[in-house]
């Protein structure tokens, strides 16, 4: 049923495009392609985004389309479908109704700048009646989506204002968008559903070339080192060189306590004792000589 509805819808849009023209500020068309969808929104510059009071969401009041910003990504509701992107002018990814973030579904009707016809008669201060529109099966799958306390939601994500400098011809191609975002916008999605969308878009667009090379080089080196370590035989440490032994001995000698120099008084006492000993030796020698002389006289 969905494929038939898409085919009828595409034929209807082709007929409308042939007889109608888009507004001057934003051109609205349709083009279907996966995984990145071009929905025909052509923004020449970064749009003005205003906070929705009481909600962690921004909306674009000057764009004639249902354009929002939530949790680090842009969300567009167009032609009964939701699309998401993390750059303000796409490319966009199709989002199934069963996985649209809750706070995006809860945006009041009054903040839809281009509401579809079936929004008529619905309360402007309340979210759209998605259960009536998408059917009982969707309502059972997303049960409780409209039950929450205002003011208890998460904080608004900071706007990626760095994208203001990329307008017109300077708008980056798909392969550069992720690199620029990683360099200038550090916010990471908190909503589990948004985080999945963000990771999916990053995987589809592929990592930036510079980051890919920087990641691959260490892996190649580590693999080579592992092979060398496996092939190289286990070597024992060589004996210490003579110079190393001398250094070790020198260090051990320096670590030993040094001899404390004797004070001056001790030195003087030692000198006096040595002098006294020398005098005693001299006296003993003279006494022996005198005894020898006396013995020689007695013999004579």
What are the sequence ranges of the domains in the chain? 44-211
pLDDT in tens, 103-139: 999 999 999 999 999 999 999 999 999 999 999 999 9
CB 151 within 8 A of CB 106: no
Q: Note the pTM of the prediction, 2 decimals.
A: 0.59
pLDDT of 196: 79
- C-beta of residue 79 within 8 angstroms of C-beta of residue 8: no
Residues of the chain above pLDDT 70, percent: 59
Distance CA 172, CA 89 (A): 10
């Amino acid at each position: 049923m969905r494929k038939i509805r898409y085919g009828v819808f595409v034929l209807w849009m082709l007929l409308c495009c042939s007889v109608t023209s888009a507004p001057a500020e934003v051109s609205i068309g349709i083009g279907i392609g996966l995984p990145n969808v071009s929905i025909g929104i052509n923004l020449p510059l970064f749009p003005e985004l205003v906070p929705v009071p009481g909600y962690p969401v921004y909306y674009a009041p000057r764009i004639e389309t249902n354009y929002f910003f939530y949790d680090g990504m842009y969300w567009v509701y167009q032609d009964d479908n939701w699309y998401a992107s993390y750059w303000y002018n796409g490319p966009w990814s199709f989002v199934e109704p069963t996985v649209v973030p809750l706070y995006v579904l809860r945006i009041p009707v009054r903040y839809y700048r281009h509401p579809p016809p079936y929004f008529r008669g619905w309360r402007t201060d309340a979210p759209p009646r998605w259960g009536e529109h998408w059917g009982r099966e969707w309502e059972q799958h997303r049960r409780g989506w409209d039950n929450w306390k205002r003011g208890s939601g998460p904080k608004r994500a900071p706007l990626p204002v760095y994208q203001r400098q990329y307008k017109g011809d300077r708008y980056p191609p798909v392969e550069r968008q992720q690199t620029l975002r990683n360099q200038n916008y550090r916010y990471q999605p908190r909503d589990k559903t948004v985080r999945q969308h963000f990771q999916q878009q990053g995987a589809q667009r592929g990592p930036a070339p510079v980051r890919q090379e920087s990641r691959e080089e260490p892996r190649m080196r580590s693999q080579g080192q592992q092979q060398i370590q496996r092939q190289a035989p286990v070597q024992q440490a060589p004996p210490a060189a003579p110079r190393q032994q001398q250094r070790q001995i020198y260090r051990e000698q320096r670590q030993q306590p040094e001899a404390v120099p004797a004070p001056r008084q001790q030195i003087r006492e030692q000198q006096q004792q040595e002098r006294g000993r020398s005098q005693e030796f001299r006296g003993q020698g003279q006494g022996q000589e005198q005894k020898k002389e006396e013995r020689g006289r007695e013999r004579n």
